Amino acid sequence: MHKRISVINKSSVTAKFQTRVAVLDEDGIFDAINVTAWGETMSGEHVGSWMQFAPSENAETPIMEVPVTVSLPNSDTYTIGVQGKNLSIVFSVIAVQGNAYTGPTANITKYTQEQLPVRNPITGNLGGITFPEAPEEITVESAWSFATLDTEETVQTSQYKDWVCDFIIECDKEVALGELGLWGTYGGMDFAFANPYALSEGQSLFMMTSVGMPVTYEYICSEVKVFDCGVFRGLVAPQMKGKKITVSLCLINPDYAMELINEVANEFPEYNETEILFEVMKKSRWEKAIGKDVLIANKTEYIFE
């Protein structure tokens, strides 16, 4: 038996679908037959990847078909054993808005006051980026540990395995050069620096990318497991008072990132690499990709007192 189930988006907006096929077996028949969905043998339930669909132009035309096959093994010895037995296969669809987040999530644990690290910040030149001078020793004011829920094993089947994992830092007010300090650690590496860019309102900073250390989601899940980020006051401490910092752990589609970089490079051929990167990190450039090519795994906020 071969059954095709059609899914149609009759709404007026783009939506995301996740299909699930589950076998309900009450009398042992499942062990004696072969059931496949999407060409893969089922072990009881098959959960499809999230897929994005625009509204269907023709309500009678399916936008997705799910092939489900039930067959007997190539042996007559099984035939008698399944006679008179029943098997139910339940197909369901979960639908959400097209910009809804459906990617991996992360747990956030806030550091206690006693756990906040004291570090020597990076100064001078690193990877072509000149960092402002900063106090010889800084105390991180607020910090968080982000731990992904995917494991070393489950990330191997994740569609986000090769996506770039990064922190995106945003502020609700303008931040002067060197005014905001950022701290982070992962995989035994530790860094702290005063922001190498002045952040206008609406400007974001991709923390790992800006210091030349972007990593993949697979690397985070299999090697790092816990990915930390913190903030501290930079050169002019009083100026940070009342400003709200948002720290988001994000996954970024590398293909989309490259397209965005090329788009900016073509638009501003006179820009150097640092200027291109800064333009790419403007919120207005990438916010339309949230939920599709930029996934926010979790985020937290801190207001400087």
Higher pLDDT, 103 or 296: 296
Least confident of 68-77, 197-206, 227-236: 68-77
Q: Which among 108, 97, 104, 30 is positioned nearest to 70, based on CA atoms?
A: 30
Predicted local confidence at residue 54, as pLDDT: 76
pLDDT at 64: 64
181-205: pLDDT as tens digits: 888 887 777 777 777 677 887 778 8
- The per-residue b/e assignment along 256-276, b for 16 or more CB within 10 angstroms, e otherwise, is bbeebeeebeeeeeeeeeeeb
Predicted pLDDT of residue 99: 65
Q: Name residues whose C-beta falls within 8 Å of residue 269's C-beta, 6 or more positions apart in sequence.
A: none
DSSP character at residue 81 = H
pLDDT value, residue 57: 60
Is pLDDT of 303 > 90? yes
24-60: per-residue pLDDT in tens? 766 667 777 777 877 777 766 777 777 777 777 655 5
Per-residue pLDDT tens digits for 232-271: 887 766 788 899 999 998 999 999 999 999 999 999 999 9
Q: Specify the amino acid at residue 236.
A: V
Mean pLDDT (whole number) for 142-151: 88
More confident residue, 63 or 285: 285
pLDDT reported for residue 164: 92
Each domain of the chain, given as residue ranges in start order, spans: 2-97, 106-303
pLDDT at 227: 84
Task: Name the burial class of residue 71, with classes exposed (0-12), middle (13-18) and buried (19+) by CB atoms within 10 angstroms of its CB.
Answer: exposed
Q: 5 pLDDT band (50/70/90 cuts)?
A: low
